[in-house]
Structure 1
Amino acid sequence: MDETPLPEVTEQFARTLTPEPDGIVAEMDERADREGFPTVGPAVGAWLRLLARLTDAERVFEFGSGYGYSAYWMAPALPADGELVLTEVDADELDAAREYFRRGGYADRAVFEHGDAVDVVDRYDGPFDVVLVDNEKERYTEAFEAVREKVPVGGVVAADNAVEAAPLDFADVRALLAGESVEASDASRGVAAYLKRVRDDPDFETGLLPLGEGVAVSVRVA
């Protein structure tokens, strides 16, 4: 589409404020560029770390972790006895995440779960102070429902790709949120349904972080 929902200048400026990435993050960024792998990028990664710090996070859960990029950004914000649960259906990517965490010195606080994240989260008791939703777009609402009761007051649920993604059409998402009838992809419908769900939930307040591909940040208030 011709419209650019998130201006590149915002992303570029935000990167000037991010912590200096260590060698592992730099290696992950190079891999993403080389393979065309969709990570959240350093600007969003730094914000995820900040969210973990602001919530004094001790436990984090990710719906979809790839090779551990976003999780690695959050790891320094957790205490050594904290728990960061990574989930991934691709065993090779999960093995890569495990190796990055080992080399970076954060394996002591990471749990690597191979399988469907929605199934995995059912095996865990709460609370989770920060949750990142980054699995299949059409299953975002399913992920939220699976983890909602495990998020304490003051906890955060962040959903990536709230504005942009390869199968996502921003105009369609806006139209669906406005109640219009449009022919939209499953991904667009999934993200729109998620945004409506968290927007209308009286126990959460939601705002948009306009970085990367857009992150919907929902804070539990009741």
Structure 2
Amino acid sequence: MVDVISDEIARFVRAIGPDPDETLIEMDERAAAEGFPHVGPEVGAFLRMTARLTDARRIFEFGSGYGYSAYWFAEALPEDGELVLTEVDEDELELAREYMAEGGYDDVARYELGDALEAVDRYDGPFDAVLIDHQKHRYEEAFETVRPKVSVGGVVVADNAITAGPIEFEKLLAIAEGRDPGEVNEHTRGIADYLERVTGDPSFETIVLPLGEGIAVSYRTE
């Protein structure tokens, strides 16, 4: 994980934010030990706050890994809420089941093994919060697929809006400023295309926040 803020600022944000429970600490330790890319506690706390602010009842994730972001989301849901986790790796999804059950959130969780863009078609809207955190070149497609199902007042959060291992930030910045970036890899282009799509949508208001590796937050206004 490549944070976009200094280590000291990240530590400060964690210190001020909500304390993770033992399961989240275990999940963080797993990510550190295995080099697994996850959103981290700063973004996790923001996701939970987003669910609270939107009074979320239904949440959909494009890419859940072993359930870290879903675990943060889950505490904000009511008992009859619904949280859809999607993952192409069966072992990771099974770990997500175990962690969600450990936290007492298994009743609100729905687990979909396979392509998230196919899974979302099996669910009717509305969704009050959506996380996009899978293949960067498919972010725009994910937004197009879920857009009709996002409630007015709902929020779409996209991870890696500033950086990640393969994302070339200087070229992403050039695109955002209307300059020629030269040759761009598919990951950087995917983020750029996504940001152009959501910022150009009159039904959404979008900002980028420098938390974790950067998150794009799009609020549905109409």
Relative to the length of structure 2, the TM-score reads 0.96
Post-superposition Cα deviations, 1:24-74, rounded to whole Å, max 9, x if no partner, equal: 101101100100000100011000000000000000000000000000011
**What are the within-5 Å matches in structure 2 for residues 1-222 of structure 1?**
5-181=4-180, 182-222=182-222
Q: Which whole-Å CA distance do the structure 1 matches of 2:155 and 2:19 have between them?
A: 24
Determine helix, strand or coil for the equivalent of 2:141. helix
TM-fit CA distance, 1:8: 3.1
TM-fit CA distance, 1:151: 0.5
Structure 1 runs, 4 residues or longer, greater than 4 Å off:
none
Q: Which amino acid aligns with 1:79?
A: P
Q: Which whole-Å CA distance do the structure 2 matches of 1:112 and 1:95 have between them?
A: 9
CA RMSD of aligned residues (A): 1.1
Determine helix, strand or coil for the equivalent of 1:37. coil
Determine helix, strand or coil for the equivalent of 1:16. helix
Gaps of 5+ in 1: none
Gaps of 5+ in 2: none
TM-fit CA distance, 1:185: 1.0
Relative to the length of structure 1, the TM-score reads 0.96
Q: Which whole-Å CA distance do the structure 2 matches of 1:10 and 1:136 have between them?
A: 28
Determine helix, strand or coil for the equivalent of 1:92. helix
Q: Which whole-Å CA distance do the structure 1 matches of 2:31 and 2:196 have between them?
A: 31
Percent sequence identity is: 61
Q: Which amino acid aligns with 1:118?
A: L
TM-fit CA distance, 1:5: 4.6
TM-fit CA distance, 1:179: 3.0
